[in-house]
Amino acid sequence: MANNPLIGAPVSAIPTPAPIVDLDRLEGNLRRMASYFAARPCKLRPHFKSHKCVELARRQLAAGGCSGTTCAKLSEAEQLVAGGVTDILIANQVVGSDKARRLAVLNHKATVRSAVDSVHNARELSAAASNNNTTIPVLVEVDVGMKRCGVPPGEPALALAQEIMRLPGLRFDGLQGYEGHLVALPDRDERASKTREALAPLIETRRLIERAGIPVAIVSSGGTGTYDITGNIEGVNEVQCGSYALMDGAYARIRPEFVVARWILATVISARDGWAVVDVGTKGLGCEFGLPTIEGRPDAKARYTAEEHTPFDGLAAQVGDKLRIIPSHGCTTQNLYRQMWIARGDTIVDVWPIEGAGCLE
């Protein structure tokens, strides 16, 4: 999108609200995470659902230390394959005959794994793979305490792995267990101890399956909040970090080694003594983890977010001023936009499409 007429213009020329990315900061985050995993047996499998941008996914892979890419939905995987990414894990169940068919078709073009946690789903994927003359690689998802998806650790996981081994068109590649209920614990020591405790049954499940004569090539887990904990547990060989690339207000509090590289540029549309209102609210900001903040304005406090407005108390500003708003949750913020503006310093240098925006199925 380098032919955009605003390339070379100052960031303030961008119509608001709009996501802007500081390319220097982004590249620094990518280098930091890639260097952490470069010489370790555990590798990074960056999560596309955090930013939903194929160009950024390619840059994460190019930075090194990666085994492939993670995504959350089949439609995201389709965007990644169309963009040339060839090793993908859908860290979710792909359920339904039409989706199973689409997953099978994707595996003619790339390695696209799926998580499974039921015999019903495994048989559905097996039928689709057989009907489309391909193989679908799968990971058995194990519930490590999040109480979302996954079979219990131990014998139930072994039984499902054994069933997968018997089904035509499927390849058992290993296990997935996500400690998502722990990745944002604010105290680092508590986060570390509880993560190790939660993942111990996952590692024992790996050993149980291997003792049964079934190879376990992959154990995939982790996130930005636990990359240096989960990434050092023997038996885990992939971590699914996503937020580290662009960051957000919530993760900035627990992972200060990565810097906020993406803001929502907003315009002050109303101002009076002691407070001002910007032109973005819940329709342009993911607010699940708290109210937004303003880059460089620590004294300004959001009063609330409405659909298209956010009033900030303690903000001295004039109508027309442009401000950089930090959302509390970057993943859901990113899903609200179709492109992001890339800047070096105060100059727009590119525009990247957010191909995965709206990919919910």
Q: Look at residue 2 in the predicted model and tell me its pLDDT.
A: 62
- At the second CATH level, the architecture of 11-18+255-353 is Beta Barrel (2.40)
Distance between CA atoms of residues 280 and 287, nearest Å: 12
Residues of the chain falling short of pLDDT 70 = 1-2
Q: Look at residue 311 in the predicted model and tell me its pLDDT.
A: 98
Nearest partner of 30 among 2, 54, 65, 1, judged by Cα? 65
Distance between CA atoms of residues 228 and 246, nearest Å: 18
Q: Look at residue 83 in the predicted model and tell me its pLDDT.
A: 98
Domain with CATH 2.40.37.20 in the chain: 11-18+255-353
Residue with token string 């590289």: 261
Instruction: Specify the length of the chain in residues.
Output: 361
Nearest partner of 4 among 264, 343, 245, judged by Cα? 343
Cβ-based neighbour number of residue 169 at 10 Å: 18
Distance between CA atoms of residues 73 and 80, nearest Å: 11
Q: Look at residue 1 in the predicted model and tell me its pLDDT.
A: 55
Domain 68-236: which topology?
TIM Barrel (3.20.20)
Q: Which residues pair with 54 in a beta bridge?
A: none
Phi, psi of 208 (to 5 degrees): -60, -45
Domain with CATH 3.20.20.10 in the chain: 68-236
Q: Look at residue 3 in the predicted model and tell me its pLDDT.
A: 82
Tokens at 207, concatenated? 């050993």
How far lies 131's CA from each of 51, 74, 97, 216, 312, in Å?
Answer: 34, 19, 11, 26, 57
